[in-house]
Chain A
Amino acid sequence: VKIGVLLGQLRELEAGLAATYRGTGERHADDHDVYHQCVSFAKKAEGHVAKLASLAERYDARNGADSQVQARDDNELGLLGVLRTLFLAAEEVSITWVMMNQAAQAARDAELLSVVQECHAEVELQVKWLTTRIKVAAPQALVTA
């Protein structure tokens, strides 16, 4: 069961996110809504870290960096990792299309807007496909393999 490893990763990620929220809030304190929302999200993230800590004892969580998980291209865990990376890449592309969509509207560029709408819809489809596939792959990779 690799749940412990994933718990360790989640703790790291949540802790990192908390720090980023705090840092962002401080650097953008003059964007007041951003400041306040970031601080409250940081508190949420820190709360998640605390919740994970008690679960981690049960699952013997390891630090993500020195985990003993052996993900290979040809095993269940390897596929799950690759799908996760793809999902993150597709999400980055997706939110960038959102920016472009807004820009195209403001620039009144109909040609750009039509390209944005077509492409963004396709990327959103990819994100959903990756979500569907990750949901199917995760139980076997994390619990059985």
Chain B
Amino acid sequence: MEDRIHQPWGIRSPYSRGETWPIRLDERADGEVDRWVASACVLCSNGCGVDIGVRDGRIVGVRGRGSDRVNRGRLGPKGLYGWEANGAPDRLRRPLVRKSGELRESSWDEAMELVAEKARTLLATKGSGALGFYTTGQLFIEDYYTLGVIARGGIGTNHLDGNTRLCTATAAQALKETFGCDGQPGSFADIDHCDALLHVGINMAETQTVTWMRQLDRLQRPDRPRLVVIDPRPTPAAREADIHLAVRSGTNVAILNGLLAQLIENGWIDREWIEAHTVGFDALARAVEPYTPEKVAEICGVDAGAIREAARIIGQAERLLTFVLQGVYQSHQATAAACQANNINLLRGMIGRPGAGILQMNGQPTAQNTRECGCDGDLAGFRNWQNAAHIADLARIWNVEPQQIPHWGPPTHAMEIFRYAEQGSIGFLWIIGTNPAVSLPELRRIRSILSNPELFLVVSDAFPTETTQFADVVLPAALWGEKTGTFTNADRTVHLSEQAVEPPGEARADLDVFIDFAQRLELRDKDGERLVKWSTPEEAYSAWQECSRGRPCDYSELSYERLRAGSGIQWGGERLYADGVFPTEPELCEDYGHDIVVGNQLSEPEFRALNPQGRAILKPAEWTEPHEWPDEEYPLVLNTGRTIYQFHTRTKTGRAPELSAAAPDVWVELAQTDADRLGIEEGDVCEVVSPRGTVRAPARVSGIREGVVFLPFHYGSWKAEEEDAPSAANELTITQWDPVSKQPIFKTAKVRVTKVAGGTGRSPAPEVAASAPAGAAT
């Protein structure tokens, strides 16, 4: 196989509109493989069908499955190399318990009894609100559903959220605001049929590598879709684009309003469809009217003619496919902007048909499931916390009293959970499969919360991390390939991932740990029976199937047996809303919605007053300046994000030698003009300073837009030699979040950059994709 580090997207298999995406089989293994075990990839939200190669009880390789609808045999670089982390020598093998200030190995019984005892004590003295859980987008359905039942139905705490708050909260919220309920409208197969693509704040070549390959393959043919990209960085998609709008960070609502205004002004809208299938058109038209190309050009720092041309491409498309991701979700006005992307497709009637659709993407592999299973700020089965009938239904399924399930307010979001821990009202926090000491904003504050001796901190992970070092108890977790479970990708494709090997040492599957916890707390249903009535993954999954029955995310027909027989099945069929009927019936919807500018929760009567009744809701928003905006002292905007070779805080990818070597250390990207002005050259060591902290990084002079600097967010300090120089982008970010989705803002901190030492040649930034040097074409 070719070198897929330097050729991340591999060889092209061009195809035309309406054709089937050709199969390309990607495989990588160290030596012979004894047997292949069916799974799917967990290194982004794409969910590629993959087989795990096993020899002598160890994972030794992977191969893409050609029959899988998601990837048709392909794998990205993270998928091809990332599995090596499973065999890393520093895997956690035994529980650790803090004794005399130090983490020491213990038995599972000792560690779990300590956890249970602390939970029992706080429940008795302060009640369920003293316990919080902060999870991940990396568990399986079986884990999420079980933990949701334990936390909400058993303990009765409202404080259960995941790091999906940082990644997909806005996707879910925008879908709820516009369509009444979560659930991805579109399908990756829409790429085969579209004639125009709109990318809003998504660097897909690096974040969902394989689905970018699919678009790239279509872009090779003469009938290639027209491509409009909104992104401040010169991403591979931006380089392929017909129109690249390199907007200033923090201006998404303005650019989208500008496009909406052009669509309306030029009559590129489907009035009949709008009339039949939406509410709110008049208010939207009024709201966007002031956003002329000239006004938008001034706000966003782009050319007015390019805005007109982008609108023409979108407006004249017959099948428009829109992708949205973190450039929108991690900015201020996140939900407001994501809703305007929905509005573009709705005004054009471009939804529910082959090639015409919306994909509000996810970041993590199983983010969709924490939303579905109610293990983040949602309730299981997309149930509405304000709807008493939904709560009663959940109580019936769990066999608990309805008042046991917290529903006096929305489930507590992650940033609020950490605030309660900071103030002391949460005294027990269990962090599962995530690394907030690197991934949350304003790390100095997060470290001070995690190190508070009053907080009892439990951390489940497969590796020692920057977060485990603060823990009172560390529980070693089985990884992907070491346990069985299901998960769902960003286009609703469900895969069963089978256990291929045993976990190392005494590491355990999270599901087993949660059930052990429930038993130690003696959690009961209202008849005195065990609350958690299952013990195997398949039993847990069956319980979830029952909970989802009749809801929009209905898994009741997707048994393990059916999943084993195929290779990835979508719930809800190929695409949702083919009939133009949306789940906005008040009795059905997951959320009555919000004022998307300020964040006020709407009540049932206010929702009914919108009179949606199965129609989509067009919600307008005015653009507002971010609360923190560049000034004289901090003249630049900091944008943070990822590279193709790393995932999150590198807990896995940093332990895969090829991936780690491809992007070994932090860098800061600057525009040529900014670099010239600051006297900075490629490779010079710089300090990036915000009001909250400092990061030291060598410069990559790239094609990023003027006024914006970029730091990758992967680089914490778990590798010993990195401890001296602060390298985590979140030292600089601001503690602030979108008022609706509560997603923290990672894209618009104000910073200044200064050179502190002369060049050492090239920075360690990858030479491919968005971080490529200025002038390079990759």
Interface residues of A (CB under 8 A from B): 1, 74-76, 125, 128-129, 131-132, 135-136, 139-141, 143-145
Contact = CB atoms under 8 A, between A and B. Distances in A.
Given A139-B409, A140-B129, A128 B425 contact: no
B129 A135 contact: no
B420 A140 contact: yes
Contacts of B599: 129, 132
Given A128-B600, A136-B409, A145-B424, 15 more contacts: A75-B424, A128-B595, A128-B598, A131-B600, A132-B599, A132-B601, A135-B409, A136-B410, A136-B416, A139-B406, A140-B129, A140-B425, A144-B127, A144-B129, A144-B425
A56 B534 CA distance: 43
5 contacts: A75-B423, A76-B425, A129-B600, A132-B599, A136-B416
A139 B156 CA distance: 13
Contacts, number: 50
Contacts of A145: 423-425
B126 interface: yes
B126 A76 contact: no
Q: For the complex of A and B, list the 8 residue pairs with the smallest distance between their C-beta atoms, beginning with the closest.
A: A144-B129, A145-B425, A128-B600, A144-B425, A132-B601, A136-B409, A132-B600, A129-B600
A128 B605 CA distance: 14
Q: Interface on chain A toward B: helix, strand, loop, or mixed SS?
A: helix
Interface residues of B, number: 21
A15 B408 CA distance: 27
A74 B408 contact: no
Nearest to A72: B423
Interface in B152-176: 158
A83 B423 CA distance: 17
A144 B410 CA distance: 17
Contact of B129 (A74, A128, A131, A139): A139
B130 interface: yes
Interface of B: 126-127, 129-130, 158, 406, 408-410, 412, 416, 420, 423-426, 595, 598-601
Given A135-B408, A139-B129, A139-B409, A74 B600 contact: no
Contact of B126 (A125, A139, A141, A144): A144
A125 to B, nearest CB: 6
Nearest to B128: A144
B408 A139 contact: yes
A74 B423 CA distance: 7
A143 B127 contact: yes
Contacts of A76: 420, 423, 425
A57 B158 CA distance: 28
A134 to B, nearest CB: 10
Nearest to B600: A128
B75 to A, nearest CB: 43
Contacts of A128: 595, 598, 600
Contacts of A144: 126-127, 129-130, 420, 425-426
Nearest to A122: B598
Contacts of B595: 125, 128-129
Contacts of B425: 76, 140-141, 144-145
Contacts of B158: 139
A125 B598 contact: yes
Nearest to B606: A128
Contacts of A139: 129, 158, 406, 408-409
A76 B425 CA distance: 8
Contacts of B410: 136
A128 B410 CA distance: 15
A115 to B, nearest CB: 18
Contacts of B408: 135, 139
A120 to B, nearest CB: 15
B305 to A, nearest CB: 34
A75 B421 CA distance: 11
A35 B318 CA distance: 67
B416 A129 contact: no
B155 to A, nearest CB: 12
Nearest to A75: B423
Nearest to A74: B423
A143 B129 contact: yes
Contacts of A74: 423
A125 B600 contact: yes
Nearest to B159: A140
A129 B598 contact: yes
B152 to A, nearest CB: 14
A132 B386 CA distance: 13
Q: Name which of A125, A128, A131 has the most chain B CB atoms within 10 A of its CB.
A: A128
A93 to B, nearest CB: 16
B454 to A, nearest CB: 13
A59 B276 CA distance: 55
Nearest to B597: A125
A124 to B, nearest CB: 10
A2 B283 CA distance: 44
Contacts of B127: 1, 143-144
Contacts of A125: 595, 598, 600
A64 B410 CA distance: 29
A135 to B, nearest CB: 5
Contacts of A129: 595, 598-600
A69 B335 CA distance: 37
A139 B425 CA distance: 11
Q: Name which of A1, A74, A139, A144 has the most chain B CB atoms within 10 A of its CB.
A: A144
Contacts of B426: 144
B426 to A, nearest CB: 8
